[in-house]
Amino acid sequence: MDISSIKARINQLTQEINLHNYNYYSLSSPSISDYDFDLLLEELVRLEHLHPELALPDSPTKRVGGEITKNFKQIVHKNPMLSLSNTYSEAEVTDFDQRVRKLLQGEAFEYVCELKYDGLAIGLTYVKGVLQHAVTRGDGVQGDDVTANVRTIKSIPIRLFGDDFPDEFEIRGEIIMPRSEFRRLNEERADIGDLPFANPRNAASGSIKMQDSAEVAKRALDCYLYHIIGDALPFESHYENMVKARQWGFKVPMYIAKCTTVDAIFEFIDEWNSARETLPFDIDGIVIKVNSFAQQQQLAFTAKSPRWAIAYKFKAQRVSTKLLSIDYQVGRTGAVTPVANLEPIQLGGTTVKRASLHNADQIARLDIRVGDTVFVEKGGEIIPKIVDVDVSFRPPQSQPLHFITHCPECATLLVRKEGEAIHYCPNENGCPPQTKGKIEHFIHRKAMNIDSLGEGKVEILFDNGLLKNVADIYDLTYEKIIGLEKEHTTENSDKTRVVKFREKTVENILKGIEDSKQVPFERVLFALGIRYVGETIAKKLAVHFKNSDEIQKATFDELKEAEEIGETIAESVLQYFGNSENVAIIARLKEKGLQFSINQAAVTQVSDALQGKSFVVSGVFSKSRDEIKHLIELHGGKNVGSISAKTHFVLAGDNMGPEKKKKAQQLNVPIISEDEFFEMIHE
C-alpha cells in the first residue's frame, strides 16, 4: 500500500471503530461481533505503529489509558458550573412553577424533565468536533482537568460525527458507575482485603481522580450528558439541542420528557420514584428545566443557582427504630467493623435487623448509644446505615459508647494505623474469624476452587479442630470427616439446615482438594490472602519472580520493580513473608504438592540476547503489551514496572506516558523503539 492508501485506511478504520463504539456503548445496539471488532482494532494498531504520524487524535487506540497524572491541573470554567436548588417537597415544585409563570408574565412555555444522576458532574469542551478537555465541577468556578481519565470512558466521544456542530461548545453531564461494575469492583476490593466503596457515586468519583488512566480504563465508567452551552447552537431550546447532540455521538439519555403543566411534572416524578430500582445505575431525583433558552435568560440566576431549573430529590428510604446492641465483626484481614442490632423494621421492601456503623469515627460523630432511637436509610446505599439519632427519645441512664480496645474474638489488643479509620486485630493466625475467613478465601473458585468445601463446611471442620490454617486442608482424610454434622444458619437469613458429611460429600471434598494441587502458581499466590494482592497483582508477582522463594527473598525495592507493585503492596508482601507462621504454612503446602513456581513451559528462554537487561514497557505496540513482555522474558530479559537508575531500557510504543519519558531522560535511561527492540532480539 502506498502512503495515501495507508492514510485513507487509517481514517476509515478510525471512523468505523468509533461508530461501532458509539453503537455499543451509547445506543446499546452493537452492529458487529466482538471478534470482528477486535480484528479491525488490531489492524488499526498495526498501521498506526508503522506510521505513527498518520494516527488521528480521536483514534480508538488511545482509549486504553496509560498517562500518569500526579497533580490535576486546575481549569477555570468558561461558564460557572452552578448547582441547582434542591427540594424534597412537591409544594416547593408548585411554588417554583408559580414563580416561573409570574416572571414570564403569561408567556407560553414548556418544561423538560430529566433524571438526576447520582455521580460526578463533568464539563466536556469540544473544539472543531474534537474533545479538548474534561473538567470536574470543583468549586463551581474552577475544577480539575481529568481529560486523560475521561478519554478512557467509551461512551464519551473523542471526535464527533457529522459537521453541523458549533466550532466550540461545552456539554455537561454526570459520570456514573453502573451497579454491576460497582458490585464487581467491591468484590475485587474484598479479595485483596480492602474496604468496599460505600456506593456507586463514591466509586465513580474516586475512579475519575486516579493517577493512572490505565487503571481508570479498567473500570466500566459511563457518562450521561444533559446540558449544552455555546454560541451558534442548532436550536434555541434545550430539548431539541440535546436530541441533536445524540446524533453527534453523545450518550444523551432517553429518560427525558417535555411537560407543560405541574401535574405532568408530578406524573414524571411518581413514575421514576417507583421505577428507579429497575435502572442499571443510581438516581436521586428529577431535574426540571425551562426549555427555551430565551426564557432561561429572562428568568436569569440567583447568586448560587439558575431560576429556570430546580432539582426534586427523592426522599431517602428512611425509618426509625431502636438500637438494641452493637456487635463487632472481625474480617479476614483483621478489620473490626461495628454492626448495630436493631428492632426489625421494613425498609425498601426488606426486613432490616442490622446496619453498619462503619468505624469508631462514625460512632463518635453520631454520639450513638445503646437504647437510642435511630434513623436508618437505604437510599442509594447498598447496605442499610444509621444516619442520625433522635435524642428526644434517649433514655436518661444512657452512657456514651466507646469503641472496643480488644478483639471480641481473641482478646488481642486492637491497633489503628495513623491516617486510617479502621481498627485491626493483629493476631492474624490465631484469631478464629480471620482464620476461617482466610480458609474460605483460599477455597474460593477464583483461588484454589475447592467449592465442595463451601456452604458452612469450613466452620464445622474449624469447630472440630480439623482446620487451624489453610495447610490443614491437605491433611483431611475420609476417616476424619465422615459423619460430621452441624446446624448451619445462612448469613443474612433465618433459615437453618443441617450440614452433614455423608459419603458422597466427603468424596467430592477429597477430590476437590486433590484437583487443587494442579492450580497454577499465580492463583495459589492469590489464595494465600496477602492483603492488597488480588488476582491481577498475584499474576504480576508470579510472572516477575517466577516462584515463591524469589518473592520471599525480595527486598522492598526489588518488589517495587515488578509491574504495578507500589509501596503499599510491597510493604504488605514483606510483612506476610516476614511472618514465620506464614512461611511454615507455605512449606507445608509445598510438601503437599501445590504449585509454588510458574509453569516454565510458558517462559522457556529461547535466547540470552537480553540476559541481565531490565525493561520498562510503555505505550501501544503492533503486538499486545503482554506479548512484548513475554518476548523480553523469552530472550532472557526482565520486565520491571517503574523506571529507576537500575533500568537498562525503556521500550516505548505510541502514546508513551509523558511522565515515564521525562523520568527516563532525567536518569539517562535509553529509550528504544519497537523496531530497535526487534533488532536486538533478532541479533
Average pLDDT over residues 201-220: 84
Q: Is the pLDDT of residue 626 over 60?
A: yes
Helix (H, G, I), strand (E, B) or coil at 218: coil
Q: What share of the chain is helix, strand, coil (3-state, %, to 5)?
A: 40, 20, 40
Instruction: Indicate the residue type of 619.
Output: G
The predicted structure's pLDDT at residue 601? 58
Answer with the residue of higher pLDDT: 580 or 189: 580
Lowest mean pLDDT of 244-253, 292-301, 343-352, 507-516, name the range. Answer: 343-352
Say whether pLDDT at 66 is over 60. Answer: no
Whether pLDDT at 379 is above 60 = no
Catalytic residues: 116
Q: What's residue 112's pLDDT?
A: 96
Domains of the chain: 3-63 (1.10.287.610), 74-313 (3.30.470.30), 318-393 (2.40.50.140), 432-518 (1.10.150.20), 521-602 (1.10.150.20), 614-682 (3.40.50.10190)
Q: Decide: 81 and 137 in contact? Cβ < 8 Å.
A: yes
Is residue 353 within 8 A of residue 324, CB to CB? The reply is no
Band (371; pLDDT cuts 50, 70, 90): very high
Mean pLDDT in residue range 33-62: 80
Highest mean pLDDT among 181-190, 410-419, 597-606: 410-419
199 pLDDT more than 90: no
Would you say residue 24 has pLDDT above 80?
no
CA 590 to chain centre: 34
Tell me how far CA of residue 102 lies from CA of 98, 239, 310, in angstroms: 6, 23, 16
pLDDT of residue 200: 85
Give tens-digit pLDDT for 114-138. 999 988 999 999 999 999 999 998 8
From 25-39, 130-144, 458-472, the region with the lowest mean pLDDT: 25-39
- Rounded-to-integer distance, Cα 450 and Cα 457, Å: 11
**Which pLDDT score is estimated for 65?**
55
Ranges 252-261, 274-283, 293-302: which has the least confidence: 274-283
Q: What is the pLDDT of residue 382?
A: 57
> Mean pLDDT, to the nearest integer, of 625-654?
83
Mean pLDDT of all residues belonging to the chain: 87
Adjacency order of strands within the sheet including 256-259: 86-87, 309-313, 283-290, 111-117, 256-259
What pLDDT is recorded for position 263? 94
- 302 pLDDT exceeds 90? no
| 625 compared with 59, residue with greater pLDDT | 59
Distance (Å, whole) CA 467 – CA 249:
57
Residue 282's nearest CA partner among 121, 122, 117 is 117
d(CA 153, CA 217): 7
Cα atoms in the Cβ-side hemisphere of radius 13 Å centred on 50 = 12
642 pLDDT above the threshold of 80: no
- The three cell numbers of residue 70 are 500526579
What is the model's pLDDT at position 309? Answer: 94
Q: What is the mean pLDDT of residues 655-659?
A: 74
Which residue in 248, 256, 255 sits closest to 289, CA to CA? 256
Q: Are strands 649-652 and 671-672 parallel, antiparallel or unpaired?
A: parallel
Structure confidence at residue 627 (pLDDT): 77
Highest mean pLDDT (candidates 104-108, 630-634, 659-663): 104-108
pLDDT tens string 542-594: 988 999 999 999 999 999 888 778 888 999 999 999 999 999 999 999 999 99
Q: Summarize the confidence of residues 352-381 as an average pLDDT.
A: 85
Angle between helices 34-50 and 3-21 (to 10 degrees): 140
Q: How confident is the model at residue 35 (pLDDT cuts 50, 70, 90)?
A: low
How much of the chain, in percent, has pLDDT values that exceed 90? Answer: 46
Contact in structure between 614 and 642 (CB atoms under 8 Å): no
Do the Cβ atoms of 550 and 593 come closer than 8 Å?
no
Least Cα distance to 268 among 382, 475, 466, 114 occurs for: 114
**pLDDT over 70 for what percent of the chain?**
93
Q: Return the number of other C-beta atoms located less than 10 Å from residue 674's C-beta.
A: 20
pLDDT tens, 381-417? Answer: 556 888 889 999 998 888 898 999 999 999 999 999 8
199 residue type, one letter: N
For residue 602, pLDDT beyond 70: no
* 3-state SS assignment for residue 528: coil
**Whether pLDDT at 434 is above 90:** yes
282 vs 120, 155, 351, 401, CA distance in Å?
12, 17, 22, 34
Average pLDDT score over residue span 508-535: 93
Per-residue pLDDT, 516:
95
State the pLDDT at residue 224: 94
Most confidently predicted of 52-66, 288-302, 491-505, 617-631: 288-302
DSSP state of 192: T
